[in-house]
Amino acid sequence: MPDNKIEKLSGAAFLAYPEMSGMLKTELAGRLNFNSKPTAVYGDLLYYADFPIENVKDENDLPYWSRSTMLEPMIINFESIGEAATALKEIQRSWAPYQYQFFRRANLIQEKLPYVNLKVRKFPVKIPNSPIGLYTLITDRSMICSAKTSSAIPAGQIVFEEDHKNPPSRAYLKIQESLTMANLLNGTPLPKEGERCFEAGACPGGWTWVLAGLGARVYAVDRAELAPELMKNPLVTFQAHDAFTLKPKDIGYCDWVFSDVICYPERLLKWVKEWLESGLVRNMICTIKMQGEPEWDVIRQFAEIPGSRIVHLNYNKHELTWIHCQKISQN
Closest of 217, 274, 287 to residue 245, by C-alpha:
274
CA-to-CA separations, 116 to 16, 112, 130, 147, 246, in angstroms, rounded: 21, 11, 11, 14, 46
d(CA 197, CA 238): 12
Name the pTM for this structure.
0.96
Q: Residue 194 CB: number of other CB atoms within 10 A? A: 9
DSSP one-letter code for 93: S
DSSP one-letter code for 160: B
Percentage of the chain beyond pLDDT 70 is: 98
Under the banding of pLDDT at 50, 70 and 90, the label for residue 279 is: very high
d(CA 240, CA 249): 17
Average pLDDT over residues 289-305: 95
d(CA 148, CA 131): 7
Any bridge partners for residue 139, and if so which? Answer: 142
The three-state secondary structure class of 266 is helix
d(CA 285, CA 5): 46
- 278-288 in b/e form (b: 16+ CB < 10 A) is eebbbbbbbbb
Residue 291: predicted pLDDT: 84
User: What are the pLDDT digits (tens) for 212-246?
Assistant: 999 999 999 999 999 999 999 999 999 999 999 99
Percentage of the chain beyond pLDDT 90 is: 96
Closest of 99, 119, 114, 110 to residue 15, by C-alpha:
99
User: What are the pLDDT digits (tens) for 22-58?
Assistant: 999 999 999 999 999 999 999 999 999 999 999 999 9
d(CA 191, CA 211): 7
The three-state secondary structure class of 97 is strand
d(CA 182, CA 136): 28
d(CA 11, CA 331): 33
CB 324 within 8 A of CB 295: no
The three-state secondary structure class of 261 is coil
User: What are the pLDDT digits (tens) for 121-142?
Assistant: 999 999 999 999 999 999 999 9
Under the banding of pLDDT at 50, 70 and 90, the label for residue 292 is: confident
User: What are the pLDDT digits (tens) for 57-112?
Assistant: 999 999 999 999 999 999 999 999 999 999 999 999 999 999 999 999 999 999 99
d(CA 97, CA 95): 7
The three-state secondary structure class of 18 is coil
- DSSP states of 215-248: T-EEEEEESS---HHHHT-TTEEEEES-GGGS-H
Average pLDDT over residues 173-201: 98
Residue 4: predicted pLDDT: 61
- 172-324 homologous superfamily: Vaccinia Virus protein VP39 (3.40.50.150)
- Report domain extents, the chain: 3-156, 172-324
Residue 329: predicted pLDDT: 72
Find the radius of gyration of the CA atoms of the chain: 21
- 60-90 in b/e form (b: 16+ CB < 10 A) is bebbbbbbbbbbbbbbbbbeebebbbebbee
Closest of 30, 37, 31, 68 to residue 51, by C-alpha:
37
CB 202 within 8 A of CB 172: no
